[in-house]
């Protein structure tokens, strides 16, 4: 996958889960700063990303992920890109 495809997947998934239709991909965006963010939505977001990309993220990987950029870096490693 290209960086653009990863960014689109992250952005689209975040828009749906966090109910923020205009939420763009921004590598510096901290997930906890998304309006409406809470632990339940965070879990739903991770599950949706895993489903969309057919991957599994372990607890330590998720704990170390704070921004959209962190997530993109992790996904590129997981998908071999």
Average pLDDT over residues 26-43: 94
Res. 52: pLDDT tops 70: yes
Q: CA 57 to CA 34: how far, in whole Å? A: 21
Report all structural domains of the chain as residue ranges with CATH numbers, in order of start: 3-78 (1.10.1200.10)
pLDDT at position 16 over 80: yes
Handedness of CA 63, 77, 52, 35 (dihedral sign): positive
Average pLDDT over residues 48-53: 96
């Amino acid at each position: 996958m290209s960086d653009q495809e990863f960014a689109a997947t992250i952005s689209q998934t975040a828009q749906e889960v966090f109910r923020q239709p205009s939420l763009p991909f921004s590598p510096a965006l901290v997930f906890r700063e998304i309006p409406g963010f809470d632990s339940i939505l965070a879990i739903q977001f991770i599950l949706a990303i895993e489903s969309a990309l057919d991957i599994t993220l372990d607890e330590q990987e998720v704990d170390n992920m704070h921004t959209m950029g962190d997530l993109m870096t992790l996904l590129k490693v997981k998908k071999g890109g």
